[in-house]
Amino acid sequence: MALTNYRIIHEVPGRLRLRIPALGEPGCEAGALEDWIEAAAPTREVRANRSARALIIHYQGSDEARQSLLRRLEHFSTEPIPGYSEGDVHEAEIAPMITTLFTLATLPFLTPPMRVVLTFANVGSTLAKGADTLIHEGIKVEVLDALAVGLAAANGKLFTANLTDLLLDLGAFLERRTQRQSDRLLRRLLRPDPAMAWVERDGELVQISGDEVCAGETVVVGVGETVPVDGHVIDGLALVNQAGVTGEDVPVRKEAPARVIAGSVLVEGRLRLEATRVGEDTTTARVSRFIQTSLAEQAATQCLADELADKRVYLTLGTGAAVYALTRDLARLQSVFLVDYSCALKLGTPVAFKSGMSRAAEHGVLMKGGEAIETLAEIDTLVFDKTGTLTHSDLLVTDVVVLPGSCACTETELLAMVASVEEHASHPIAQAVVEAARERDLAHISHGEVDYLVAHGLQAEVDGGRIVVGSRHYLEAHRAIDFQVHQAQIDALQAEGKTLLFVGNAEGAVGLIALRDSLREEAPAALARLRALGIKQLIMITGDRREKGEALAAELGLDAVYAEMAPEDKASVIEGLQRAGHKVGFVGDGVNDGPALAVADIGIAMPRGADIARATADVVLMDDRLQAVADAREIAHKTMRLIQQNFTAAVGINTGVLTGAVLGWLSPVASALLHNGSTIGILVNALKGVSLEAESQGQGSMQTPPLALTHKVD
């Protein structure tokens, strides 16, 4: 059901105040609605008041921006988010605290019997919760709280009982708010945006819900509109803001045949797209499922924290029993029972993991739960598949060599001639040659019908003669064109790690076109940063010839290179490193990288990778940059360090409070205040999360906008 029952109470330019009767009801939580509106491009600030059923929106832009916000509000779905518990995001209740404050203010004016009745009525919920926990779950912290409050009330210390109950409620309130805030960092990742779509059907432009678009249909997107599906540009030119998808806050230029991702917003221009992924196959829906799976994953560190927290409840109970046996002092017993380790240990760890996942998403990285963060922080070896990771997938023409003897053409004429023939092929080398000719504005040369032999080469009539283009094997073995006399030039180019395209005609060898993967400009800096972050071995796997692989490895300063590798052998390399005692991560993007990603301790998939690569990986990059791998490692390492610091603080502070309670230095009220205060401090520290070194030095980062990921990249 869409949210349409609202009215505008008041508005001024740039600000709307709305009355929403459904606000606060199941499926229309205040936090979820704020997240939904915040994701819109014109939004500056949003505040939802559950009690007043009101929503205040501050925005920038004209009436068109206002209308887009109201349309977005109408599209807010009140259906529960799959994989997300609405109970986790309910506003923390303050009614118990108000009741307790009223009780404390009233006690001095009541008779002694009435004070007892009012006190037990006020603390009854705490006592009942403790009894229910004892019956159904055993000895937990709720049991200790009930014992502490109940003993104070039974001993006639009514003010202490009520004040202790107030502090317990306040601590629970703040803990729930802190935990809710950590969930809110990720909740906006889970609600797919049902953007409306303008689709060309039967010669007309009709508007439908984005999830109703069919693959292959033509979608038209205008200024201020959200791209509803993944697709390729058919025609048009536009600036597209992908901040809600990749975190990149600088609009990018899109024109045919560029790929556009669902969730992007058009800032300027107009595009016609061919829908390639729709409905549940869109980037937004797929990453939503990824995050849902991530939240269900529980890391070993979190399991250990839960186990230790439960054990320390028994420690507190045993300590209290021993203290009472020795001192017969109920006040000391109450003080001891009000100290527990479980809150800080059990809540601090998942909050830190969620904060780490959120921070990673801000930097273009999706992590599959706390286990991925934990493992990524532990690896000592990182293996890269070369193409698409250390290098861009696209090849570049580096040299055009005219060989003496068989052709009187120039380098420019040779390139134009080969490009005119290669434009009929679709493989990467052909595309690179055609693109090189296009960049030089070379004219197309007329030619006859092209004969194409798959995986070998092609030939065609050009200017009354036949030109043959392809691999050396094809030209020498199939067309009897000998290149042996030019071996020195061939060896020199191949020694530089270049791929060669051979050109010949009826008279013999004509020329060579050398191509090379374009090394990512950021690769050296990213690899150096990974070493600084504790990665001891950087290794490359490639199917290229050994000379080419070793040339690139030497350029990048890699520790080892496995060249001429068949796809099925990649996983065996990873397993060999693991048998040698290394904790191994693998970075890849291809269909044949699936086994290696699965067998590695942590698999990292590049954003342009195949579906199987992304499905197998533990970490998926949303932004096509190698520095994102280093960002992920740094965030993982610092998150684990934060968890360890919080763990040490929780144990140390609560042990100190417990010691003070045992020695009688702390009253029950002081014990509750110190314990809850330390817990809140640890949770806030976990929620604050970590920052990257560049941010802490004031240099900023490539991906630093606040999370608005209702939309994502695959």
Tens-digit pLDDT profile for residues 227-261: 888 889 999 988 887 655 544 445 678 888 888 87
Enumerate residues 6+ apart whose C-beta is below 8 A from 592: 567, 568, 570
pLDDT digits (tens, 9 = 90+) for 421-454: 888 776 668 888 998 999 999 988 888 888 877 5
In this prediction the pTM is 0.61
pLDDT at 488: 92
pLDDT tens-digit series, residues 311-348: 666 777 788 788 878 888 878 877 777 776 666 666 67
Residue 88 is predicted with a pLDDT of 40
How far apart are alpha carbons 318 and 306 in whole angstroms? 19
For 2, phi and psi rounded to 5 degrees?
-80, 160
pLDDT of residue 671: 81
Task: Say if residues 130 and 145 touch (Cβ distance below 8 Å).
Answer: yes
- 120-137: pLDDT as tens digits: 898 888 889 888 888 887
pLDDT at 244: 53
**Does residue 263 have a pLDDT over 90?**
no
The whole-number pLDDT of residue 257 equals 84
Name the band, by pLDDT with cuts 50, 70 and 90, for residue 502.
very high
Q: In this predicted structure, what is the pLDDT of residue 328?
A: 83
Q: Quickly state the pLDDT bin for 392 (edges 50, 70, 90).
A: confident
Three-state DSSP class for residue 532: helix
pLDDT of residue 636: 92
Alpha helix stretches (DSSP H) within 328-427: 330-337, 342-362, 369-378, 411-422
Residue 466 pLDDT level (bands cut at 50, 70, 90): confident
Q: In CATH, which superfamily holds the domain spanning 393-518?
A: Calcium-transporting ATPase, cytoplasmic domain N (3.40.1110.10)
Question: Is a pLDDT exceeding 50 seen at residue 189?
Answer: no
Confidence at 273, pLDDT banded by 50, 70, 90:
very high
Between 165-169, 174-178, 519-523, the lowest mean confidence (pLDDT) is in 174-178
Distant-in-sequence, close-in-space partners of 471: CB < 8 Å, separation ≥ 6: 456, 457, 502
479-490 average pLDDT score: 91
Cα 351 to Cα 211: distance, rounded to the nearest angstrom: 33
- Answer with the residue of higher pLDDT: 540 or 620: 540
Q: Residue 646: pLDDT above 70?
A: yes
Range 316-348 burial, b when 16+ CB lie within 10 A, else e? bbebbeebbeeeeebbbbbbbbbbbbbbbbbbb
| Residues 599-607, mean pLDDT to the nearest whole number | 86
| CA-only gyration radius of the chain, Å | 32
| Strand ranges (E), 424-550 | 451-453, 457-462, 465-470, 499-505, 508-519, 537-541
Question: Identity (one letter) of the amino acid at 126?
Answer: T
The pairs formed by 298-303 with CB atoms below 8 angstroms and a separation of 24 or more are: 298/369, 298/370, 298/371, 299/353, 299/369, 299/370, 299/371, 299/373, 299/374, 300/371, 300/374, 301/349, 301/370, 301/374, 301/640, 301/643, 302/349, 302/350, 302/353, 302/370
Q: What are phi and psi for residue 703, nearest 5 degrees?
A: -135, 90
Q: pLDDT band for position 85 (50/70/90)?
A: very low
Q: Where are the domains of the chain?
A: 7-79, 196-281, 393-518
- Mean pLDDT (the chain, rounded): 78
Six token digits for residue 395? 């090849």
pLDDT at res. 533? 93
% of the chain exceeding 70 in pLDDT? 78
**Is the fold of 7-79 the same as that of 393-518?**
no
Rounded to whole angstroms, how far apart are CA atoms 629 and 606?
Answer: 9
Q: CA–CA distance from 421 to each of 455, 506, 572, 573, 652 (Å)?
A: 16, 16, 40, 40, 74
Q: How far apart are CA 168 and CA 600, in angstroms?
A: 45
Mean pLDDT confidence for 365-384: 88
Residue 160 confidence (pLDDT) above 60:
yes
Whether the Cβ atoms of residue 72 and residue 40 lie closer than 8 Å to each other: yes
- 196-281 CATH pick, 2.70.150.10, 3.40.50.1820, 3.40.47.10, 1.20.210.10: 2.70.150.10
Enzyme catalytic residues: 385
What percentage of the chain carries pLDDT values higher than 90?
17
Tell me phi and psi for residue 190, to 5 degrees.
-100, -10
Retrieve residue 682's tokens. Answer: 């640890």
What is the distance between the alpha carbons of residues 215 and 217, in angstroms, rounded to a whole number? 6
- What does the block give as tokens for 299? 């890391």
The confidence band for 524, taking pLDDT boundaries of 50, 70 and 90, is very high
Q: Both tokens of residue 27?
A: 């499926």
User: Tokens standing for 641?
Assistant: 């360090």
> What single-letter amino acid sits at 151?
L
Average pLDDT of 45-50? 80
Classify domain 7-79 by CATH number. Answer: 3.30.70.100
* Cα distance between residue 162 and residue 288, in whole Å: 45
pLDDT digits (tens, 9 = 90+) for 679-690: 778 877 877 778
Worst-scoring range by mean pLDDT, 345-354, 457-466, 524-533? 345-354
- What pLDDT does residue 282 have? 61
Q: What SS3 state is found at 667? A: coil
**Between 468 and 23, residue with greater pLDDT:** 468
Compare 438 and 189 and report the one with higher pLDDT. Answer: 438
What does the alpha-carbon distance between residue 501 and residue 469 come to, in Å, rounded to a whole number?
A: 7
Cα 279 from Cα 275, distance rounded (Å): 10
Nearest alpha carbon to residue 655 among 315, 169, 301 = 315
**Tokens (6 digits) for 323:** 């203290």
Rounded Cα distance, 177 and 30, in Å:
13
Whether pLDDT at 67 is above 50: yes
Of 425 and 591, the structure prediction assigns the larger pLDDT to: 425
Residue 176's pLDDT is 67
Q: Which residues contact 580 (CB under 8 A, 6 or more apart)?
A: none
What is the pLDDT at residue 225? 83
What confidence category does residue 414 fall into, taking pLDDT thresholds of 50, 70 and 90? very high
Residue 312's pLDDT is 64
Q: Average pLDDT for residues 515-522, to the nearest whole number?
A: 83
Greater confidence, 141 or 546? 546
Distance CA 499, CA 150 (A): 80
Residue 139 confidence (pLDDT)? 76
